[in-house]
Amino acid sequence: MSVNLATITARAGATHAVCQQPLVSFTFRNPHRHARHLVQHSRLISCRQMSRSIMSQAGPKGAQGTSCSCAIKLILDFDGTLTMKDTMHVLAEAGYARQRKLQRDPQPRPWAEIVDAYMSDFKGHTDAYSPKATDRTKYDQETTWLNSLKPVENASIERAIEAGIFDRMSTADMTVAANEALDSGQVRLRRGWTELLGFTKQHNNQLPLTNPDRLIQVISVNWSACFVRQILRGSVQRASEVEGRASPRWSGEVPVYANELPSLVEDRAQTAQGTTSGPMQHAQGAIRTSGDKVRVFKHLRDQADCGVDILFIYVGDSTTDLECLLTSDVGICIHDDPMSSSQMELAATCERLGVELLHIRDRKVFTPASGRRLLWARDFREITDWLKGHRQSLNSLCSAAR
């Protein structure tokens, strides 16, 4: 899930996004070898045709030893997807700790007041909005709802900035906060994340790519890309202590596309990977809603020329991710047991919109489908195992797009 102020609390029935275009789960994009009109045509290949190609070339269990000639572009949400829970409260506490260190008098208004103000705005907006969630059964209705939430999100960020919670925060402060959160267990990364990223990198390294470092990225509505980056760096350092050693493990940097706090905007030159946009100064480019996330996703997709065909995989956990999930070639939702409120909301939204959710190991994944589909997995190890076991199927997707 991608964090906004609503995700810190009970979410109050927030519904943040849906897909605008009727794409099947396994559409494919080849922006390198074909003219644009042929690319667009390839993305409209029917799921029936594609599935026949898959089933004719792949056995029931896939082909573990078969090589795949297409690259994997892996794009992930952060809060609730890479992490087990939302981290906004951790980021806020880092700000309050900084203000206590500066001995500000008086201290900024309490975080609970800022959350309550957001929830009040959100409830008022929801109560006044029409059509209601139960009556929104079309993608354009949900997209309109999504876009209508941006003023509510902007107002929340403005309250936090104006309260001075994040005044004079530095990259060093974020590094300390991230390490403390990881050491205390306030922030935990989901099982198998380094294995999935390591497998993706190893797979891509076997191909003649011109830009392999751009094939794993994070898109988040978190307020600080610096915070996200420091959490990932710290987690990589600790991964060898908690992850198994059987699979390749990620050990690099992950480009992060998220917002940035005003005091950290000056660090953008030092963090060249990914992009940042200040929540106040650069609102036009800020990432607030699912619509903003899919805008960044499409930019990354259009800029992903690496010399070979690419399969775009997006992993998320909430309705804030739904547009990206359905715009990708393969969309994978994270489901805990029991599911979190955001995961249940995503599942309920999919049901209302007629989007089928299949477990990643379901045999129906590669059968013809008449409508949209999303896959779900319990953790990243299930995703890695699925990718390893269906290399032939991935190859078939590449062949179908040519």
Domains of the chain, residue spans: 5-401
Spatial distance between the Cα atoms of 50 and 242, rounded to a whole number of angstroms: 39
DSSP state of 105: S
pLDDT score, position 31: 38
Angle at 221 between CA 314 and CA 14, to 5 degrees: 90
The residue type of 381 is: R
Which two three-digit tokens encode residue 81? Answer: 């997807």
pLDDT score, position 17: 31
Phi, psi of 155 (to 5 degrees): -65, -35
Which two three-digit tokens encode residue 3? Answer: 């964090």
CA 132 to chain centre: 26
Spatial distance between the Cα atoms of 328 and 21, rounded to a whole number of angstroms: 11
Under 8 Å between Cβ of 280 and 158: yes
Residues of the chain with pLDDT under 50: 2-3, 5-66, 269-284, 400-402
Which two three-digit tokens encode residue 255? Answer: 């480009």
pLDDT score, position 280: 38
pLDDT score, position 285: 77
Which residues are CB-neighbours of 402 under 8 A, at least 6 positions away?
30, 33, 42, 309
pTM of the model: 0.80
Which residues are CB-neighbours of 322 under 8 A, at least 6 positions away?
16, 17, 18, 19, 290, 316, 346, 349, 350
Which two three-digit tokens encode residue 287? Answer: 């990432």
Q: What percent of the chain has pLDDT over 70?
A: 73
pLDDT score, position 44: 33
Spatial distance between the Cα atoms of 4 and 114, rounded to a whole number of angstroms: 12
The residue type of 188 is: R
CA 259 to chain centre: 14
Give 3-state DSSP helix, strand, coil % of the chain, rounded to 5: 50, 10, 40
Spatial distance between the Cα atoms of 219 and 81, rounded to a whole number of angstroms: 11
* DSSP symbols for 172-241: HHHHHHHHHHHHHTSS-BPTTHHHHHHHHHHHHHTS--S-GGGSEEEE---S-HHHHHHHHHHHHHHHHH
Spatial distance between the Cα atoms of 386 and 378, rounded to a whole number of angstroms: 12
The total of other beta-carbon atoms located within 10 Å of residue 35's CB is 8
Report the candidate in 154, 158, 101 with the shortest Cα–Cα distance to residue 289.
154
pLDDT score, position 134: 95
Spatial distance between the Cα atoms of 20 and 381, rounded to a whole number of angstroms: 30
* DSSP symbols for 136-166: --SHHHHHHHHHHTHHHHHHHHHHHHHTTTT
